[in-house]
Amino acid sequence: LTEPTDKTKYRFNWTAPIHLSPHNSRIVYFGAQVLLRSVNRGDSWQEISPDLTTNDPEKLKGNIEFCTISTVSESPVTPGVIWAGTDDGKVQVTRDSGAAWKDVTAKIQAAGGPADHYVTRVFASPHKVGTAFVLKTGWHRDDYAPFVFRTDDLGDTWTAIGKGLPEGTVYAFAQDPKNADLASSHMQALTTA
Protein backbone atom coordinates (compact mmCIF):
# COMPACT_ATOMS: atom_id res chain seq x y z
CA LEU A 1 0.00 0.00 0.00
CA THR A 2 1.13 3.51 -0.66
CA GLU A 3 0.78 6.17 2.00
CA PRO A 4 -2.55 8.02 2.14
CA THR A 5 -2.88 11.03 -0.13
CA ASP A 6 -3.02 13.42 2.84
CA LYS A 7 0.30 12.03 4.14
CA THR A 8 -1.19 10.69 7.37
CA LYS A 9 -0.66 7.04 8.21
CA TYR A 10 -3.34 4.48 7.55
CA ARG A 11 -5.13 3.26 10.67
CA PHE A 12 -6.31 -0.34 10.69
CA ASN A 13 -8.70 -2.08 13.05
CA TRP A 14 -7.20 -5.10 14.83
CA THR A 15 -9.61 -7.14 12.67
CA ALA A 16 -9.47 -4.94 9.58
CA PRO A 17 -12.23 -5.84 7.11
CA ILE A 18 -11.43 -7.35 3.73
CA HIS A 19 -14.38 -7.72 1.36
CA LEU A 20 -14.43 -9.35 -2.08
CA SER A 21 -16.82 -7.83 -4.59
CA PRO A 22 -19.76 -10.16 -5.34
CA HIS A 23 -19.68 -8.85 -8.92
CA ASN A 24 -16.00 -9.14 -9.87
CA SER A 25 -13.51 -11.50 -8.22
CA ARG A 26 -10.64 -9.13 -9.07
CA ILE A 27 -12.07 -6.33 -6.89
CA VAL A 28 -11.09 -6.33 -3.20
CA TYR A 29 -12.04 -3.75 -0.56
CA PHE A 30 -9.89 -3.14 2.53
CA GLY A 31 -10.85 -0.85 5.39
CA ALA A 32 -8.52 1.59 7.15
CA GLN A 33 -9.88 5.03 8.12
CA VAL A 34 -10.58 5.30 4.38
CA LEU A 35 -11.87 2.56 2.12
CA LEU A 36 -9.23 1.12 -0.17
CA ARG A 37 -10.01 -0.77 -3.38
CA SER A 38 -7.91 -3.00 -5.57
CA VAL A 39 -9.13 -3.92 -9.05
CA ASN A 40 -6.29 -6.40 -9.62
CA ARG A 41 -6.59 -8.77 -6.64
CA GLY A 42 -4.37 -6.67 -4.38
CA ASP A 43 -1.46 -5.81 -6.66
CA SER A 44 -2.26 -2.09 -6.31
CA TRP A 45 -4.69 -0.04 -4.22
CA GLN A 46 -6.54 3.26 -4.42
CA GLU A 47 -8.53 5.26 -1.89
CA ILE A 48 -12.22 5.47 -2.78
CA SER A 49 -13.43 7.46 0.21
CA PRO A 50 -12.48 10.26 2.54
CA ASP A 51 -11.94 9.42 6.21
CA LEU A 52 -15.24 7.70 7.09
CA THR A 53 -14.64 7.82 10.86
CA THR A 54 -15.09 10.61 13.41
CA ASN A 55 -11.32 11.17 13.20
CA ASP A 56 -11.59 12.36 16.81
CA PRO A 57 -8.16 13.60 18.03
CA GLU A 58 -8.97 12.47 21.60
CA LYS A 59 -9.56 8.90 20.41
CA LEU A 60 -6.33 8.93 18.40
CA LYS A 61 -4.03 9.70 21.36
CA GLY A 62 -3.54 6.13 22.60
CA ASN A 63 -1.40 3.26 21.38
CA ILE A 64 -4.39 1.27 20.09
CA GLU A 65 -5.62 2.08 16.58
CA PHE A 66 -9.03 3.71 16.80
CA CYS A 67 -11.26 5.57 14.37
CA THR A 68 -11.06 2.74 11.83
CA ILE A 69 -13.44 0.99 9.45
CA SER A 70 -14.62 -2.21 11.11
CA THR A 71 -16.94 -3.68 8.45
CA VAL A 72 -17.60 -3.36 4.70
CA SER A 73 -20.32 -4.81 2.45
CA GLU A 74 -21.03 -4.27 -1.25
CA SER A 75 -24.57 -4.88 -2.49
CA PRO A 76 -24.86 -8.24 -4.26
CA VAL A 77 -27.73 -6.69 -6.26
CA THR A 78 -26.07 -3.54 -7.65
CA PRO A 79 -22.32 -3.00 -8.16
CA GLY A 80 -20.88 0.11 -6.52
CA VAL A 81 -23.40 0.33 -3.67
CA ILE A 82 -21.03 -0.08 -0.73
CA TRP A 83 -21.65 0.17 3.02
CA ALA A 84 -18.97 0.88 5.63
CA GLY A 85 -19.19 0.87 9.43
CA THR A 86 -16.58 2.06 11.91
CA ASP A 87 -15.39 1.26 15.41
CA ASP A 88 -16.45 4.74 16.53
CA GLY A 89 -20.06 4.36 15.41
CA LYS A 90 -20.22 5.79 11.90
CA VAL A 91 -22.22 4.12 9.09
CA GLN A 92 -21.85 5.45 5.56
CA VAL A 93 -22.98 4.34 2.11
CA THR A 94 -21.96 5.14 -1.45
CA ARG A 95 -24.13 4.48 -4.51
CA ASP A 96 -21.40 5.24 -7.04
CA SER A 97 -18.34 3.14 -6.11
CA GLY A 98 -17.02 5.77 -3.72
CA ALA A 99 -17.41 9.00 -5.68
CA ALA A 100 -19.85 10.33 -3.04
CA TRP A 101 -20.63 9.06 0.46
CA LYS A 102 -23.69 9.58 2.66
CA ASP A 103 -23.39 9.44 6.46
CA VAL A 104 -26.50 7.67 7.82
CA THR A 105 -25.34 7.51 11.46
CA ALA A 106 -27.89 10.08 12.66
CA LYS A 107 -30.70 8.17 10.94
CA ILE A 108 -29.73 5.00 12.82
CA GLN A 109 -29.48 7.00 16.03
CA ALA A 110 -33.06 8.22 15.46
CA ALA A 111 -34.12 4.53 15.39
CA GLY A 112 -32.37 3.84 18.72
CA GLY A 113 -28.79 3.09 17.69
CA PRO A 114 -26.30 4.96 19.88
CA ALA A 115 -24.14 7.13 17.60
CA ASP A 116 -20.83 6.19 19.23
CA HIS A 117 -21.34 2.41 19.54
CA TYR A 118 -18.97 0.10 17.62
CA VAL A 119 -20.39 -1.17 14.32
CA THR A 120 -19.82 -4.92 14.32
CA ARG A 121 -21.41 -5.56 10.92
CA VAL A 122 -23.00 -3.96 7.92
CA PHE A 123 -24.77 -6.44 5.66
CA ALA A 124 -26.11 -5.56 2.21
CA SER A 125 -29.15 -7.64 1.32
CA PRO A 126 -28.89 -10.11 -1.58
CA HIS A 127 -32.54 -9.35 -2.45
CA LYS A 128 -32.98 -5.59 -2.82
CA VAL A 129 -30.41 -2.85 -3.40
CA GLY A 130 -32.02 -0.54 -0.85
CA THR A 131 -32.03 -3.09 1.97
CA ALA A 132 -29.17 -3.37 4.44
CA PHE A 133 -28.68 -4.33 8.07
CA VAL A 134 -26.46 -2.70 10.71
CA LEU A 135 -25.35 -4.25 13.99
CA LYS A 136 -23.85 -2.17 16.79
CA THR A 137 -22.40 -3.03 20.16
CA GLY A 138 -21.83 -1.12 23.36
CA TRP A 139 -20.01 -3.87 25.28
CA HIS A 140 -17.06 -1.55 25.92
CA ARG A 141 -19.53 0.76 27.70
CA ASP A 142 -21.20 -2.08 29.64
CA ASP A 143 -24.21 -1.88 27.31
CA TYR A 144 -25.16 -5.40 26.25
CA ALA A 145 -28.37 -4.66 24.35
CA PRO A 146 -28.63 -6.29 20.90
CA PHE A 147 -28.59 -3.34 18.48
CA VAL A 148 -29.84 -4.56 15.08
CA PHE A 149 -31.30 -2.20 12.44
CA ARG A 150 -32.76 -2.49 8.95
CA THR A 151 -33.19 -0.03 6.10
CA ASP A 152 -35.11 -0.57 2.87
CA ASP A 153 -34.34 2.81 1.28
CA LEU A 154 -30.52 2.99 1.20
CA GLY A 155 -30.27 4.43 4.69
CA ASP A 156 -32.87 7.20 4.63
CA THR A 157 -34.96 5.47 7.31
CA TRP A 158 -34.14 2.68 9.76
CA THR A 159 -36.11 0.24 11.92
CA ALA A 160 -34.81 -1.44 15.07
CA ILE A 161 -35.30 -5.20 14.64
CA GLY A 162 -33.42 -6.51 17.70
CA LYS A 163 -36.51 -6.72 19.91
CA GLY A 164 -36.89 -10.18 21.39
CA LEU A 165 -33.24 -11.10 21.03
CA PRO A 166 -31.50 -12.09 24.27
CA GLU A 167 -29.09 -9.61 25.83
CA GLY A 168 -25.63 -9.86 24.27
CA THR A 169 -23.47 -8.45 21.53
CA VAL A 170 -24.55 -9.31 17.99
CA TYR A 171 -21.46 -9.90 15.82
CA ALA A 172 -22.75 -11.29 12.55
CA PHE A 173 -25.89 -11.31 10.44
CA ALA A 174 -26.98 -13.21 7.35
CA GLN A 175 -30.08 -13.13 5.20
CA ASP A 176 -31.01 -16.29 3.33
CA PRO A 177 -30.08 -15.89 -0.36
CA LYS A 178 -33.46 -17.29 -1.50
CA ASN A 179 -35.89 -16.31 1.26
CA ALA A 180 -35.73 -12.62 2.21
CA ASP A 181 -37.81 -13.28 5.33
CA LEU A 182 -35.27 -15.72 6.76
CA ALA A 183 -32.29 -14.29 8.62
CA SER A 184 -29.94 -15.34 11.37
CA SER A 185 -27.49 -13.66 13.64
CA HIS A 186 -24.58 -14.80 15.76
CA MET A 187 -24.73 -13.51 19.28
CA GLN A 188 -22.14 -13.68 21.98
CA ALA A 189 -23.19 -12.91 25.53
CA LEU A 190 -20.38 -11.02 27.21
CA THR A 191 -20.16 -11.08 30.97
CA THR A 192 -17.91 -9.24 33.34
CA ALA A 193 -16.11 -10.92 36.19
- pLDDT over threshold 80, residue 6: no
Tens-place pLDDT, residues 15-52: 999 999 999 999 999 999 999 999 999 999 999 999 99
* CA trace torsion 130, 118, 110, 60 (10° rounding): -110
What mean pLDDT is predicted for residues 63-77? 95
Among 70, 113, 74, 106, residue whose Cα is nearest residue 88? 70
Distance CA 132, CA 153 (A): 9
- pLDDT over threshold 90, residue 168: no
Residue 183 binned pLDDT confidence (cut-offs 50, 70, 90)? low
Residue 63 binned pLDDT confidence (cut-offs 50, 70, 90)? confident
- pLDDT over threshold 50, residue 190: no
Residue 3 binned pLDDT confidence (cut-offs 50, 70, 90)? low
Percentage of residues of the chain with pLDDT beyond 70: 90
- pLDDT over threshold 70, residue 147: yes
> Which residues make beta-bridge pairs with 84?
72, 92
